Amino acid sequence: MSVAEDPKETLKTLLKDNLTLFKDDELTPATVLVCDEFNEEFWKKYDVIITVGLANTRERLVNLGGTVREVVADYRIGVWTRDTVGVDGHGMRWKTIQEVTRIINANMKSPGGILNWMKLISCTDADKTDLKPVLYHSDVMVETHRMENV
């Protein structure tokens, strides 16, 4: 029996393979890291950092025998940017959110892996203005659905 891919890895792969971002000159590709968690050291190499993590999960029985269940899991996609040479952090955050939205919507009905479908559910800003340079941060919440046989 093969091991199914973790839905978090499916989301990370979708983002890595489909993300297209450019610096402010719209010619130079932005360097983007898609990873599990944020680390300050990543700023040495990347213009944008995207983190993917499980926020919560819940189950619903689909049949009376309890052998089929729907698993609904919410994933937090964190978008992290800051002002650097050739990059307006605030603008780059907006472009990144738009790209994440495009990718999720384009793959909504067939995301891959064991996921049956997914949708965007919210986006919130959580900038860190006490840091210099300012760290622009937003969380995009994605709801995923998969069916499991017990």
Quick one: which of 53, 71, 56, 55 has its CA closest to 9? 53
**Residue 127 maps to a domain:** yes
**Residue 106 maps to a domain:** yes
**Residue 31 maps to a domain:** yes
**Residue 2 maps to a domain:** no
Q: Mind listing the pLDDT tens digit for each residue in 27-86? A: 999 999 999 998 888 888 999 999 999 999 999 988 888 789 999 999 999 999 999 988
Sign of the torsion formed by the C-alpha atoms of 35, 36, 38 and 44:
negative
Nearest-5° Cα angle at 15, 122 to 23: 95
How far is residue 113 from each of residues 54, 132, 138, 147, measured CA to CA in Å?
Answer: 16, 40, 26, 12
pTM exceeds 0.85, yes or no: yes
**Residue 1 maps to a domain:** no
Domain holding 15: CATH number?
3.30.70.1700
Q: Mind listing the pLDDT tens digit for each residue in 113-137? A: 999 999 999 999 998 888 788 899 9
**Structural domain count of the chain:** 1
Alpha helices by DSSP H, the chain: 7-18, 89-106
User: What residue numbers bound the domain in which 50 lies?
Assistant: 7-149
